[in-house]
Structure 1
Amino acid sequence: MRHLTHACAIGALHRGKQVEQFLGDIQDEDQHGIRWISLTPSSEGIGIYLHEVQDIGTDAFWDITEFPPPDPDEEDFGEAAIVPTPAEALEHGERDFGADPAKWVNQGIACSEYLDHRTARADRLQQHEVILSLGIVPGRERAGSPEDAVLAHFGTTDGRKLGLDLLRDAIQRRDGVDVEMALIVSFTFGFTTDHLTPLLHLAKADWHYKHEDVVSALGTLRTANAAEALFFSTQWVPNYLDFDECRALATKAIWALGNTPGPEAEQALARLSESDNKILRETARTVRERRRTP
């Protein structure tokens, strides 16, 4: 068994052995990188080291300990903390760096985890190409139905469940690109009430860029349980939308509230009708008027 139980990870650290975990991709404008964390016992306690390096791996070279740092003039790791006990080290890594309690491994095994990640990433890129075929691409002709091609690729006949499964998986991995892909599938095949919980999570998550699509999806569900998240989306502006003076996210959320039954949605629209922001105020008043129209 590759992954250590909590007790085995603590035992390894007590014996002076390093444990580690591959944390996944990091992306900036200039280069693609990866992150991993190591917990290293010493006479001073357990050192917690976060490694951020360039992703230069190939199918033949996947020793992440040899990958260069993003800036060649800097070290590839930083000591985040030293704590006195193994249990505190595990807690620190899981709480502050998003390490999965079920995925700690012995020293050197994070390299194998990276190799698995490379394989899975290649598979996802192929999945993305299939999913993007659902869109209209000028000049491209495809034999047969793109919807059928997507279902065949994933080996299923249930497009709604496929979209839900992809959405849950993307959230579990905090992968913004895969959130986008999952939403494309879900808008194509439809949403169900089972989509509500992941959509509510995504409405408030700050690690993806598809909040406008999320509020639109919540609007299609027409459930009172979405009212609070939709109102939240009228008040919060994600950093990547800070430039948008037209408040497109808030406007879409208000229209989604208009499709949402129940007193919670009506109360939210009433509050928005008195907003200091002209765009929100006028949109909310228009939506409330339409709600009153038989």
Structure 2
Amino acid sequence: MVKEKLELFRSLMRGSISYDSFIEEYEAKYGFLDICKELGSAKEGKDAKAIDVYLYLGSLIQYEYSCMDILNELLLSDWHNKHEDLVRIIENKKSKSSVDYLYNAIFMKLEYMDYDDDYVFATKCVRALSKIGGDAAMKKLKLLCASGNNIIKDRAMKEIKNNKKE
């Protein structure tokens, strides 16, 4: 990430400039702020710091992501540490294109999450599958009910049960 861009983001995060001033200065220097485009560039360059900054900014401005392909690919990338943020965004978007990615993410062994003995990340992915719903997501949840991991299995069973109530 360009050092000047990063400093501009930090100014916004510290509150030393307003959002409007940030946008004005950003667009004067770099053009229209397209978070999806920036995430795509960060993905190509494996720039973990940029992923962090652009996801933070997206959350701050309640950005409407239209790049599910990029978000899905980032979910399965192991060179950054924003997987839980990505699951939250994907869950909110409820895109059927994310089902296989979420399912595969459940089984990822991310070094920075080696403390996650309670499988919090995996259960967030299971919940996201449930929220997305549909036949493909339900098939994945049923597969998870046969998991050798009791935490994942129990969460999948709970989500299936909750979906039947609705």
Range of TM-score over shorter length? 0.7 to 0.9
Correspondence 1:190 to 2:88: no
Query: TM-score, normalised on structure 1?
Result: 0.50
Give the aligned residue type for 1:127.
L
Count of residues in Structure 1 that have an aligned counterpart in Structure 2: 162
Quick one: distance in 2 between partners of 1:131 and 1:197? Answer: 28
Quick one: distance in 2 between partners of 1:283 and 1:259? Answer: 13
Give the deviation of 1:166 after TM superposition.
2.1
- Higher-strand-fraction structure: 1
Give the deviation of 1:143 after TM superposition.
8.1
What does 1:1-294 correspond to in 2, within 5 Å?
A: 121-133=2-14, 142=15, 146-155=18-27, 162-188=34-60, 189-192=62-65, 194-294=66-166
User: 1:130 touches 1:149 (CA, 8 Å); kept in 2?
Assistant: no
Root mean square deviation of aligned Cα: 2.3
Quick one: distance in 1 between partners of 2:151 and 2:12? Answer: 35
Give the deviation of 1:169 after TM superposition.
2.0
Tell me: higher relative CO, structure 1 or 2? Use CA pairs within 8 A at least 6 residues apart: 2
Task: Give 5+ residue unaligned stretches, structure 2.
Answer: none
Q: Give the secondary structure class of the aligned counterpart of 1:207.
A: coil
Quick one: distance in 1 between partners of 2:82 and 2:59? Answer: 13
Quick one: distance in 2 between partners of 1:206 and 1:190? Answer: 24
Task: Give 5+ residue unaligned stretches, structure 1.
Answer: 1-119, 134-141
Give the deviation of 1:151 after TM superposition.
2.4
Give the deviation of 1:162 after TM superposition.
2.6
Give the aligned residue type for 1:200.
N
- Higher-helix-fraction structure: 2
Query: TM-score, normalised on structure 2?
Result: 0.85
Give the deviation of 1:129 after TM superposition.
0.1
Quick one: distance in 1 between partners of 2:69 and 2:22? Answer: 24
Q: Give the secondary structure class of the aligned counterpart of 1:259.
A: helix
Give the deviation of 1:165 after TM superposition.
2.4
Give the aligned residue type for 1:132.
M
Quick one: distance in 1 between partners of 2:146 and 2:22? Answer: 46
Quick one: distance in 2 between partners of 1:286 and 1:147? Answer: 41
Give the aligned residue type for 1:254.
V
Quick one: distance in 1 between partners of 2:163 and 2:113? Answer: 28
Larger radius of gyration: 1
Quick one: distance in 2 between partners of 1:254 and 1:269? Answer: 7
Give the aligned residue type for 2:59.
F
Give the aligned residue type for 2:48.
G
Quick one: distance in 1 between partners of 2:87 and 2:94? Answer: 11
User: 1:162 touches 1:185 (CA, 8 Å); kept in 2?
Assistant: no
